[in-house]
Amino acid sequence: MAKKDIHLSVEDLTISFKTNQGLVRAVRGVSFDLVHGETLAIVGESGSGKSVTSRAIMGILAGNGIIDNGSIMFEGEDLTQVTEEHFHEVRGNRIGMIFQDPMSSLNPIMRIGKQITEGMILNGKHLDNRYKAMFQESRGRYKSLKRNIKRAKKTKKRLTAQYKWDISELERKYERRIKEETETKEEQNALLAELADRKQARKQQLTERIAVELPKAQETIAKLQQQLPAAKAKLKEEKANAKAAITKEWNEQKRLAAADISQIQSEAKAELDKLKADINDLSGDAKKEAQNTYREAAKKWKQKVADRKEQLARYKKVTKKEAFERAIQVMREVGIDNPEKRFKQYPFQFSGGMRQRIVIAIALTASPDILICDEPTTALDVTIQAQILELINKLKVDRDLSVIFITHDLGVVANMADRIAVMYAGKIVELGTAEDVFYNPRHPYTWALLSSMPDLDSKERLTAIPGTPPNMLFPPKGDAFAERNKFAMRIDFEEQPPMFQISDTHYAATWLLHKDAPKVEMPETIKHRIERMLAHDAEGEDKKEGATA
């Protein structure tokens, strides 16, 4: 895959959440690329880490969320490292998101029109945005230096905090072992003694790490502080130059607008004076008609002045009038009839499907390059689901979008995904094209998802996936799906499988693909389902050929 085609790249992303019970390992080493113009579906049960991954991309993780490792590369920048100020320029403007419940995304006491135009007006300060862009690089450099200095100053505090968390996790682990593995006081004491030894070892490791890393941090601080004055001076200079350039540009636009308005007023005066003189020479109906003509002409010239003033205002920012026009346009684009009337209505006056269209419209107003759809059809009935999926597909083509589509239902993405990533317990367990995943699934979890997916022609009973996902406070040592996998081998409980390459586009993390693993056939239910899907595809192709013949 050519690097230039990659729009977004997630590499080894690891995310945890601090809780009173310990660290919940929500995402564990997730990696994928989003190619320009494609739809990537991320599929898995609730709690598999799908939505957490999307929120990390948007920079809206919960306050107790921690990005432990990894990167999210977008246009040459790692989004895990940028400031919130800079993320504000990316979020919504470059990467948009649609959430699963439109009613929770919309303000129930605010008219729909205001909710659509609000973001356009707040973020549409054209001159101000251009001003900031002129010294963006210098500002980023200066802020990065300050951030790195601050981080280096907290080295001891960071290491100590990590040590405390490690000790807390260790204590919880041994507490669990004491409850589950011991029966006598001697066994408990043995484990407590082992815990004390491990705590002492960790404390020694902390002392050694501080002794090594603290001098390095102090050296780093000294180097960075030497660079800080020059970076600050450059930022100050570029800000002054940017302000002068933008002020000059705006003054020039005002001068041109003033000249145009003066010309319009001069022409208006000439025409209106002539019409006024003509009125004085008339009487009766002819005079009334001439007066109407005068009023229409005055109105026309007044509108021309207003239009030129509006043009000047639009040069500086998105005006309310412009926002209204764009809102009406995007409401039509997402299939809302009579948008001028619906613009003034409240969310409760719309159906569930129409509310989801409003949410899509809000996401599209900033013309993002990437659209993340987080289970956008979950709260809708099947008929409306199909309409929303069709709309997202149409918008993707019309606007040249790249789409990340998150769902727990493989059936939803069957006709819209270019590639599919199957997630389980915070990891991607299978990744491939839609054809790879539907017609040649290789991971037992993917088999289980397909077996539980209803279709109209199936005569077999749907197969429920036994058990429940693991508790991510205590991630399993081996394959997280092993406890629920009837094909699991001993190694599945001991070691996590690597991602095996099946083809250039298809990968799966299961020990069944190891060269020494016993050969396990795909379940008959899945084979029959694939045969039916292939038959339907062939029937569809025949109908297409018949229609074009």
What residue has token string 């054809």? 435
Q: Averaged over 509-523, what is the pLDDT?
A: 91
Query: CA-to-CA distance for 511 and 491, rounded, in angstroms?
Result: 8
Share of residues in the chain with pLDDT > 90 (%): 56
The yes-or-no verdict on residue 38 having pLDDT over 90 is: yes
Pairwise pLDDT comparison (456 vs 361), residue with the higher score: 361
Torsion sign across C-alpha atoms 63, 65, 66, 70: negative
* pLDDT given for residue 463 in this prediction: 76
CA distance linking residue 112 with residue 345, whole number of Å: 6
Rounded Cα distance between 132 and 23, Å, is 39
Instruction: For helices 155-181 and 136-153, give the axis angle rounded to 10 degrees.
Output: 60
Summary mean pLDDT of the chain: 89
Task: Give the model confidence (pLDDT) of 240-263 as tens digits.
Answer: 999 999 999 999 999 999 999 999
Helix (H) or strand (E) run with residue 406 in it: strand 402-407
157 pLDDT band (50/70/90 cuts)? confident
Range 141-164 average pLDDT:
87
pLDDT reading at 443 higher than 50: yes
pLDDT-derived band at 549, boundaries 50, 70, 90: low
Instruction: Give CA–CA dist 199/396, Å, rounded.
Output: 54
CB 16 within 8 A of CB 56: no
Lowest mean pLDDT among 79-93, 204-218, 298-312, 486-500: 79-93
Give residue 324's pLDDT band: very low, low, confident or very high (50, 70, 90): very high
> What is the structure's pLDDT at 1?
44
Contact 331, 345 (CB under 8 A): no
The answer to whether 297 touches 275, Cβ cutoff 8 Å, is yes
Element (H, E) at 73: strand 65-74
pLDDT single digits (tens) 39-56: 999 999 988 999 999 999
Which is nearest to 228 in space by CA: 125, 138, 95?
Answer: 138
1-5, 12-16, 66-70, 325-329: least confident range: 1-5
Average pLDDT over residues 207-225: 91
Task: Kindly give, in sequence order, each residue whose CB lies less than 8 Å from that of residue 465, ignoring residues fewer than 6 positions away.
Answer: 45, 448, 449, 452, 484
For the cut 60, the answer to whether the pLDDT of residue 4 exceeds it is no
Distance between CA atoms of residues 120 and 140, nearest Å: 25
Q: Which two tokens stand for residue 104?
A: 């929770």
CA 521 to chain centre: 37
Predicted pLDDT of residue 343: 95
Structure tokens of 355? 């509310």
The pTM score is 0.80
543: pLDDT strictly greater than 80: no
pLDDT value at residue 419: 95
Give the mean model confidence (pLDDT) for residues 330-345: 94
Q: Label the pairing between strands 6-19 and 65-74.
A: antiparallel
Of 205-214, 274-283, 288-297, 482-491, minimum mean pLDDT range: 274-283
Amino acid at residue number 398: D
Per-residue pLDDT, averaged over 157-166, amounts to 84
Confidence of residue 141 (pLDDT cuts 50, 70, 90): confident
> What per-residue confidence (pLDDT) applies to 459?
66
**pLDDT for residue 2 is more than 50:** no
> By C-alpha distance, which of 471, 467, 472, 500 is closest to 484?
467
- Tell me: pLDDT of 87 over 90: no
Residue 36 structure tokens: 């320009």
Mean pLDDT of 472-487: 90
Fill in the DSSP letter of residue 463.
P
Q: Specify the DSSP element, H or E, that contains 187.
A: helix 185-280
The predicted-structure confidence for 371-400, as pLDDT tens digits, reads as follows 999 988 877 787 888 888 899 999 999 999
